Amino acid sequence: MEASLPVKKAVIPAAGVGARFLPVTKAVPKELLPLFDKPLIQYAVEEAAASGIEEVILVTSQGKEALEGYFEGNDALERFLEQNASPDVLQGVRRLASLARVSYVRQERPLGLGHAVLTAKELVGNEPFAVILPDDVILSGRPALAQLLDARRGPTDGVVAVEEVPSHLVGSYGVIAPEPLSGGLCRVRGLVEKPAPEQAPSNLAIVGRYVLPPETFDCLERTRPGAKGEIQLTDGLALLLETRDLYACRFEGRRHDAGVPLGLLKASLAVALEREELRGPLLEAMRQVLPN
């Protein structure tokens, strides 16, 4: 087995209008909504950094300027905090600028996830890269992306994260046709975006983590609009499969769909419950709001 090239860059698509969170998202990018006490985007960037990623490429769109400032240093705020806040708070703010190099590219038109990833082609260059969808928050011991990187078998392979979903939900996902291997890994024999349940090749759904070779971009350039009339990443990967091996990894951890209000709330509760000092007060608060 050849040594795998290190994966140093991650593309994080964040160009969507956030329709499920309107009207909030008229003024605030969805990715800045708090999941308990940190914005959604921070979980994605922290996971990337904890998985060895050095450069994050955020794909944004018009109206999302606030997102672009979030990971930059802020001298005035830091000077204020030096005088008026605890060192922890100051440290938390400073840390944002040191997690990874963050660069931005605009997706000018909402043509789909595959098109958003293709927008990052020049910034990624000719090297393997990761994709993290910030709506899919994965709470795990070892970061989910790191688990995918561990699962790579060769330098040109792709790996996608998958989990089992109930059959009636397959139409919301990219779904793989798996050939089981050992240790939670499958070889991907085919993939289809948002299939009707009776046409789905399995109930293994792709969730938002990918490790991909640079040839993915050539495939995305050849990908025609598919489900919902959009250029789908899944369809690009189906083309990639003609020349490259693609694996699917059933990661360890709990995935939350923070792209819908109830899912974001649930993920917030899960994060807060994991903090020892908050568990008791949160359970008490929940008892108080539950009807008698």
Structure tokens at 110: 């909402």
Number of residues that bind ligand G1P (CB under 6 A): 14
Quote the least distance from Cβ 114 to ligand G1P, whole Å: 8
In the shown chain, the binding pattern of residues 163 to 182 toward ligand G1P, with x for contact by CB under 6 A and - for none, equals ----------xx--------
Q: Which amino acid would we find at residue 174? A: G
In order of 54, 59, 145, 163, 256, the CA distances from 62 in angstroms are: 25, 11, 28, 33, 27
Can residue 193 be called a binding residue for ligand G1P (CB under 6 A)? Answer: yes
Minimum distance between the CB of residue 82 and ligand G1P, rounded to whole angstroms? 40
Q: 169: which residues sit within 8 A by CB, 6+ positions away? A: 205
Q: Of 15 and 81, which CB lies nearer to ligand G1P in the complex structure?
A: 15
Q: Which is nearer to ligand G1P, 267 or 272 (CB)?
A: 267
CB of 122 to ligand G1P, least distance (A): 22
- Helix (H) / strand (E) element for 138: namely strand 136-139
Q: Any residues with CB less than 8 A from the CB of 109 and at least 6 apart, and which?
A: 115
- Cβ at position 259, least distance to ligand G1P in Å: 6
C-alpha–C-alpha distance, residues 79 and 61, integer Å: 31
Neighbours of 244 (CB within 10 A): 17
CB of 102 to ligand G1P, least distance (A): 22
CB of 192 to ligand G1P, least distance (A): 9
* Position 83, amino acid: Q
Asked if 113 is part of the footprint of ligand G1P (rule: CB under 6 A), the reply reads: yes
The piece of 50-58, 128-136, 144-152, 274-282 that touches ligand G1P (CB under 6 A) is 128-136
Place of tokens 């397959």: 170
- State whether residue 139 is helix, strand or coil: strand
- What does the block give as tokens for 122? 């020049």
Site string for ligand G1P, 203-242 (x = CB under 6 A): --xxxx-----------------------xxx--------
Binding site for ligand G1P (CB under 6 A): 113, 133, 135-136, 173-174, 193, 205-208, 232-234
